[in-house]
Amino acid sequence: MDKFRTYDLILKKRNGSALSKDELEYLVEGYVQGAIPDYQVSALAMAVYFRGMSEEEALFLTEAMINSGETISLKAIPGIKVDKHSTGGVGDTTTLVLAPLVAAAGIPVVKLSGRGLGHTGGTLDKLESIPGFQTDLSVEELIRAVKQVGVAVAGQTKSLVPADKMFYALRDVTATVDSIPLIAASIMSKKLAAGADSLVLDVKCGSGAFLKKYEQAYNLACLMSGIGNGAGRDTVALITNMEQPLGRAVGNALEVEEAILTLRGEGPADLEELCLVLGGWMLCLAGKTSDPEAGKALLEKLLANGTALKKFQQLIENQYGDSTVTEDISLLPRAEKKVPVQAVKGGYVNRLEAGLVGMAANALGAGRETKDSKIEPAVGITVEKKIGDRVGSGDALAVMHVKSKTSAEHIYLAKKKILSAYGIEDKPCMKPRLVLGLVDRKGRQV
């Protein structure tokens, strides 16, 4: 006889009570083993969507999900291992910069990344636009690579958190993806299973993010930080602005180029700033510096003296890529044509909706519609004007990087999206704040 009846647990959640650790373990195990059918888990997910979960409940769910598969031990690598996770945005190039930057400070960085469905590829797709770069490492190879050069970026192994793969696919078709506790458990189970001691979470907020409103992003940040710290991993969550794309480049090879420029100290100010802030926290959690500001100051030096760029070269070489791309950007895949999108009137940019720019990049082939579709590494968009910038009528707002085979219809569609992403007013407009809030073990700052 089973310990519980699934029906009773659905009813309990539907009526607003919290499920216990044992009950959540029963549900997750039963689902993964095929003993509990999809329709019951769908009903449960919907009940969670409406009733929410306490922090403790979300932690129990996360732990039950972790127990559905293997976990990675990073004990063979000396030192405190800090991981970083972003909830995803448009042109979010941070991992490409942060991984070598933080490793340059002597902190081991083990990055498991996804490909993801989205406007552009994920971090793995971006790195694979570097000729020869391999992301398909076993756990042993990953650990060896980190011991050799202090940093490695690889794909998630299939054996981590199988419950999440099943559960996410179900949520996707039952309108229960955007439930804060389910998102938190999904992300945190994968992060905790990957073995880092401490975590810095970048919770994106705005039109280009999964969560559009500050309050939702703040709640997710609180819950993920609570789960991480509750699981004994020092966790900090920053809530950052994704109203407009980060940096200028949106597209796979274009973002690699942007990362190289940033590591040379020639990158866009917002991308550099976000990398320094997140990296400062990573150094602080790793015990390298006593506070995040000191971490940031150290990273500024490592950018300026070329150490961070050198670390990126080592990372590329160690994963069989051609590291001369860092000196000669023309070795990256390039689109044949550049098509500017011009402002129809002059003024100041007061809106640049990241979500629409992402859709435009996707229309050009930068992203993936389904798991099996191919991305086009060279295509994408560079935004020339951002919120607060002055524009003259006819100035290029953005440039589309297109292949000669890209159809006129797709180019037209992308151009329309870009034009609709921009708002231009006569009045000057401030540049938006980048870091909107912070949640750590000790408390919450809005």
Which residue is catalytic, options 83, 92, 125, 164? 164
Strand partners, 398: 341, 383
Spacing of C-alpha 37 from chain mean position: 31
Closest contact distance (angstroms) between CB of 186 and ligand URA is 3
Question: If residue 348 lies in a helix (H) or strand (E), which one and from where to where?
Answer: strand 347-352
* CB atoms inside a 10 Å sphere around CB 419: 16
Binding mask of the shown chain, residues 64 to 103, with x at each position contacting Ca ion by CB under 5 A: ---------------------------x-x----------
Give the burial string for 188-206 (b: 16+ CB within 10 Å, else e). bbbbbbbbbbbbbbbbbbb
DSSP H helices in 152-204: 162-172, 180-193
Instruction: Specify whether the CB–CB gap between 52 and 178 falls below 8 A.
Output: no
Distance (Å, whole) CA 145 – CA 152: 6
For 4-34, give one letter per residue: b (16+ CB within 10 A) or e. Answer: bebeebbebbeeeebbeeebbbbbbebbbee
β-pairing, 82-86 with 198-205?
Answer: parallel
- d(C-alpha 121, C-alpha 365), whole Å: 10
Paired residues of 402 in beta bridges: 337
Yes or no: say if 267 and 258 are a contact pair by the CB < 8 Å rule.
yes
User: Closest separation between CB of residue 105 and Ca ion, Å?
Assistant: 23
Point out which span in 25-33, 64-72, 73-81, 178-186 binds ligand URA (CB under 6 A). Answer: 178-186
**266-295 binders of Ca ion (CB under 5 A):** none
440 sits in which H/E element: strand 435-440
The residues near 131 (Cβ < 8 Å, ≥ 6 apart) are 321, 322, 325, 331
Close Cβ partners of 192 (under 8 Å, ≥ 6 residues apart): 62, 66, 71, 227, 228, 231, 233
Give the total of residues touching ligand URA (CB under 6 A).
5
| Shortest distance in whole angstroms from residue 243 CB to ligand URA | 19
**164 is annotated as an active-site residue:** yes
CB 127 within 8 A of CB 153: yes
For ligand URA, the closer CB: 233 or 410 = 233
Candidate ranges 53-61, 136-144, 181-189, 242-250; the one touching ligand URA (CB under 6 A): 181-189
For ligand URA, the closer of residues 64 and 183 by Cβ is 183
User: Is 85 designated active site?
Assistant: yes
- The nearer residue to ligand URA, 201 or 275, going by C-beta atoms, is 201
Question: Active-site residue among 13, 84, 85, 248?
Answer: 85
Contact 150, 99 (CB under 8 A): no
Closer to Ca ion by CB, 122 or 150: give it: 122
368 among known catalytic residues: no
Scan residues 190-209 and list those touching ligand URA (CB under 6 A).
Answer: none
374 is a catalytic site residue: no
Q: Does 250 bind ligand URA (CB under 6 A)?
A: no
Near ligand URA in 293-352, by CB under 6 A: none
| Nearer CB in complex with ligand URA: 162/287 | 162
424 touches ligand URA (CB under 6 A): no
> How many CB atoms are closer than 10 A to CB 70?
14
Q: Which stretch binds Ca ion (CB under 5 A): 101-109, 239-247, 318-326, 422-430?
A: 239-247
Among 93, 129, 186, 241, contact with ligand URA (rule: CB under 6 A) = 186
Which of 68, 179, 186, 207 is catalytic? The answer is: 186
Selected binder of ligand URA within 28, 183, 359, 418 (CB under 6 A): 183
Q: Determine the interface stretch with Ca ion among 238-246, 304-312, 351-359, 387-395 (rule: CB under 5 A).
A: 238-246
Task: Find the binder of ligand URA among 72, 77, 187, 402 (CB under 6 A).
Answer: 187
- Does the protein bind ligand URA through residue 163 (CB under 6 A)? no
CB of 291 vs ligand URA, minimal distance in Å: 30
249 binds, among ligand URA, Ca ion, none (CB under 5 to 8 A by kind): Ca ion
Angstrom distance (rounded) from CA 216 to CA 238: 13
Decide: is 46 part of the binding site for ligand URA (CB under 6 A). no
CA-based nearest residue to 241, from 34, 27, 436, 30: 436
Catalytic residue status for 186: yes
The window from 77-85, 249-257, 334-342, 344-352 that contacts Ca ion (CB under 5 A) reads 249-257
Q: Which residues 93-152 are close enough to bind Ca ion by CB under 5 A?
A: 93
Q: Cα angle at 249 between 244 and 254, to 5 degrees?
A: 160
Site for ligand URA in 102-131 (CB under 6 A): none
Active site residues: 85, 164, 171, 186, 190
**Binding residues vs Ca ion (CB under 5 A):** 91, 93, 246-247, 249
**Binding residues vs ligand URA (CB under 6 A):** 168, 182-183, 186-187
